[in-house]
Structure 1
Amino acid sequence: ICCCCFLPSQCSLLCWPLAVLIQCLLPPVLGRSFLFRCLQITSFANSSWWRTDGLAWLGELQTHRWSNASDKIDSVKPWAQGTFSSQLQSVFRGYRSSFTRDVQEFAKMLSLEYPIELQLSAGCEVHPGNISENFVYAAYEGKYILSFQGSAWEPAPHAPHLVESVVKVLNQDRGTSEILQGLLRDTCPQLVNGILEKGKSELEKQVKPEAWLSRGPSPGPGRLLLVCHVSGFYPQPVWVMWMRGEQEQQGTQRGDFLPNGDETWYLQATLDVAAGEAAGLACRVKHSSLGGQDLVLYWDGSHNSVGLTILLTCLALLFMLILGLTLWMRRHR
C-alpha cells in the first residue's frame, strides 16, 4: 500500500495515518501482511578462514538465529521451536557449505582480494488470502550487487561489470535455481503460516504507548525545539505529529524507531518553532492499542529540557547528601 508498513521513518506525512488506520481496522494477525526475512553476513579473512552468522525476523520480532559455531538454526522464541523441520535444517547445512565453496570459486575466478564480506537478505511477505511475494538480495561490502527475480539471477542496476560474470554462472545452474524457487514460493509461506499459528497470542498483543514532552537543545536565538517522546508501544506502526488545533505542523521531524528492552518501541518527534509561537501547540499520538482514543499532550511552556531536569535532580540529591552528612557530624562530635 505504501512504505509505512515496513519503513515508517521514511514515510510521507499522508502515509503515516493511513498505515495506523489499516493496522486498527484489520483483524488480528492473519488479517494483515507479515514480512519474514533472513539476514546473513559471511566474512572471508582469506581463502581458508571464514564465518557465517544470521538472523530471521517475522515482522518486528526476531524468531531464529544461527551462528558460525552451530550447524543448525536455533529458535529465539519458544513458539518458533519446531517450525524449521529436520529437512529444512539439512537444506540449510547443505546451503552453507555450498555457499562457502561457491564464493571461494568466484573469488578465484574474478581475482578478488581478501578480506571479503557478503550480506544477503532473503524471505517472503505473506498477505491475507494466501498471496505471497518473495525476494533475495545480495550485497558485496555493503553495496547491492544482485538479486533473484522470478526464476533467474539479475545484476543490480549499477553493479560492477564483474557481477555479470557471476550472474551468468549462477543462471547456468538450473537445478539450484529451481530449488530456490520452490523454497521461496512454497516453503517460505508455509513456514510463516506455521509461525503465525504458534505465535498468535504474542503477535496479537497490543501495548499502549506512554508519551511526554520536553524541551530540546535550542536551535538558535529566539527559537525552541519541542520534543514529543513516545515509548513502550507495540506493534511498531504509530503516528506522531505536532498539531495546532486540527492542523498538522509540516515541520515535524521524526527520529528512528528504537527498541526497548521489553520488545516495545520508542520514537520521538521534534518541532523547531519561534519561542512566541509555541503556545497552542500539541503532540498527537495514534496507535492501534488506543482504540481510536488518541493521546494529546499540550505544550504549556513549562517543560524543561531533559538535560536540565537531570541536572536539577543531581543538585537536589547532592544537597540532601551534604545536609545529611552535616547533621550526622554534629551528632557525633
Structure 2
Amino acid sequence: MQHPCCCFLLLLLCLLLLSGTWANLEGTFTIRLLQTSTFQNTSFVETEGLGLLEDIELGSLDKHTWTIHFYQPWVRPSLPRSDWDTIENMIKIYLQQFSHLINEGAMQKDVPYPFVAQCMVGCELYPNWTARSFAYVGYNGQDFLSFDMDNATWVLSQDTSLSRYVQAILQNYTAFTELVEVLFNDTCVDDMELLLRNGKAALERQELPVATVFARTPRPDQLLLICHVTGFYPRPISVAWLQDGQEVPPGPALNTSAVLPNADLTYQLRITLAVAPHDGHSYACRVRHRSLGTGSLLIPWGNSEVVLLAGLGAGLLAGVAMAAIMTLWVWRRRKRQQMEESESRNSILSKEA
C-alpha cells in the first residue's frame, strides 16, 4: 500500500511532467510540487497545492472543490480533457484517504490541533541530462522528514517520537519506495521534455534590470551607499559594490537584501555599503544579469559625479564665454560701421561747404 501523501505528490508530478521533444534550452531546471494541509480538528482540513517550473506557477488545487486551476495556457492542452478528469478524481480520493490517515495518526500520538503538514517533491534537471530528485515533509513550518534517493530511505530532519512514528510508517511502504526510485531517477528526466518545450517562451523571458544609486546619512560619521536594482527577470542576479574598481568582499559594512518579487512578475533587491564620508575612495555599483549578456551595468557614485558636474560646469562656462566673445565681436563691428558711416557723412558735408 502506498502512502497517500506521497501518492498525491507523485500524481501531481506525473500530471506536470509530460512526454515530448526536448526543447533547445540551456541551464538547470527545477520542478517543485507543494502541498499544504491545515488540520483544524478531526473533521475539518484545508489542503492547497501548487506546481512550479522554476518560479513559473503552472497550476494550483482549489481548496474547496479539489479541482485544478491552470495558470499557464500551455499546460492544460498537454493532456486530453478525459485525462484531467481522471486525475482530478484520483486527487479527491487521495485527499480523503490522506485526511483520514493523518487524523488517525494524530489521535494515536496525541498531536494537538490545529497543525499543518507540508510536502515538497520535485526534481532538478541539469544540462548534461543528469538529475537530482528530492522529497521533503514538514510539520508546523519546520523540516520533518526527507527522502534519501540514493538509499531509498526516509531520513529524520528532527528526532522526535512523532517523526520516528511517521518515518516507520513511510518506510514500511516498500511499493512506494520502489515507485519513487523509478519515477524520480528515470521518468523525471524523460517526461520533462514536453513541459520544457511548451513553456520555452516563458522560461526564456528576460527583462533588463534598472539600477539606481543613492545615499543616506544615518549619523555624521557614516554614509550609506544604496544600490537599488529592480525590474529584472529571471531571478538570478549578481550585484556588487566596487571600491576603486575592486569588489567589496562580504563583511559587516556590506548588507544585501533578499531578492523580492514585484507585482509585474519581475524582481528587485538592494545592496547597501557603509562608508566614511569623504574617505577619498571612488565607488560604483556593478550589476550582472542574463539579460545583459556578457556585459554589465556600472553605476558610479562620488568622484565620478563630481567629474560629471565639473564637466557640465566647464561646458556651461565655455558656452557663456563663447556667447560673450560673439556679443563683443558683433558690438565692435557695429561700432566700426557706425564710425565709418559718420566719417563718410562728415567728408561729404565738408566738400559741400
Instruction: State the TM-score bracket (shorter-chain normalisation).
Output: 0.7 to 0.9
- Percent identity over paired residues: 32
Change (3 A) 1:147 1:118: same
Structure 1 residue 190: Cα displacement = 4.6
Q: Name which one, 1 or 2, has greater alpha-carbon Rg.
A: 2
- Contact 2:156/2:167 (8 A) holds in 1: no
Q: Which amino acid aligns with 1:256?
A: A
Residue 291 of structure 2 corresponds to which residue in structure 1? 289
Report the CA distance shift for 1:124/1:158 in structure 2 as closer, same or farther (over 3 A). same
C-alpha offsets along residues 28-54 of structure 1, whole Å, 9 cap, x if unaligned?
Answer: 963211011112110111100001002
- Farther-moved stretch of structure 1 (287-296 vs 84-93): 84-93
2:255 maps to amino acid: Q
> Displacement of 1:158 after TM fit?
3.0
**Residue 143 of structure 2 contacts residue 157 of structure 2 at CA under 8 Å; is this kept in 1?**
no
Shift of 1:233: 0.9
* Residue 141 of structure 1: aligned partner: 140
Matches of 2:129 and 2:143 in 1, distance apart? 30
Q: 8 Å contact 1:257–1:267 — kept in the other structure?
A: yes
Counterpart of 1:230 in structure 2 is 229
What is the identity, as a one-letter code, of the residue corresponding to 2:60? Answer: R
1:224 and 1:160, CA in 2 relative to 1: closer, same or farther beyond 3 A? same
Aligned to 1:107: 106
Equivalent runs, 1:1-333 vs 2, <5 Å: 30-83=25-78, 85-86=83-84, 88-150=87-149, 152-216=152-216, 218=218, 220-250=219-249, 251-277=253-279, 279-300=281-302
**Greater displacement, 69-78 / 120-129:** 69-78
TM-score by length of 1: 0.75
Ranges in structure 1 where 5+ consecutive residues have no aligned partner = 1-27, 304-333
The answer (yes or no) to whether the contact 2:245–2:283 under 8 Å persists in 1 is no
Answer yes or no: is the 8 Å Cα contact 2:222–2:277 preserved in 1. Answer: yes
Q: State the Cα distance separating 1:149 from its structure 2 match.
A: 1.9
State the distance in 1 between where 2:257 and 2:280 align: 21
Partner of 2:6 in structure 1?
none
Aligned length: 275
**C-alpha separation between the residues in 2 aligned to 1:193 and 1:199?**
10
Distance 1:157 1:291, change over 3 A: closer
Whether the aligned pair in 1 keeps the contact of 2:152 and 2:181 (CA below 8 Å) is no
Instruction: State whether residues 83 and 191 of structure 1, in contact with CA within 8 Å, keep that contact through their aligned partners in structure 2.
Output: no
Q: CA deviation at 1:166?
A: 1.7
SS in structure 2 opposite 1:79? Answer: coil
Matched residues in 1 for 2:190 and 2:108: separation?
37
| SS of aligned partner of 2:111 | coil
Length-normalised TM-score, structure 2: 0.71
Deviation at 1:191, TM superposition (A): 4.8
Tell me if structure 2 keeps the 8 A contact 1:153–1:167: no
Q: Provide the C-alpha distance between the structure 2 equivalents of 1:54 and 1:182, rounded to a whole number of angstroms.
A: 23
Deviation at 1:90, TM superposition (A): 4.8
- In structure 2, the residue matched to 1:5 is none
Cα distance in 2 for partners of 1:92, 1:132 equals 27
Q: Which amino acid aligns with 2:230?
A: S
Give the CA deviation at 1:72: 2.8
Give 1:197 deviation, angstroms.
0.6
- 1:278 and 1:50 mapped to 2: Cα distance? 62
Q: Is the 8 A contact 2:239 2:285 kept in 1?
A: yes
Say whether the 8 Å CA contact 2:216–2:223 is kept in structure 1.
Answer: yes
For 1:35 and 1:198, the matched residues in 2 are separated by 15
Work out the CA distance in 2 between the residues paired with 1:78 and 1:279. Answer: 52
Give, in angstroms, the shift of residue 99 of structure 1. 2.0
| CA distance in structure 2 between the aligned counterparts of 1:89 and 1:131, rounded to whole angstroms | 31
Distance 1:152 1:101, change over 3 A: farther
Counterpart amino acid of 2:257? Answer: G
User: 1:25 — aligned with what?
Assistant: none
Do the aligned partners of residues 120 and 90 (structure 1) sit closer, same or farther apart at CA in structure 2, a change above 3 Å counting? same
One-letter amino acid of the counterpart of residue 244, structure 2: G
SS of 2:160's equivalent?
Answer: coil
Displacement after TM superposition at 1:89 (Å): 4.2
Secondary structure, aligned partner of 2:258: coil
Q: Distance in 2 between matches of 1:78 and 1:209?
A: 27
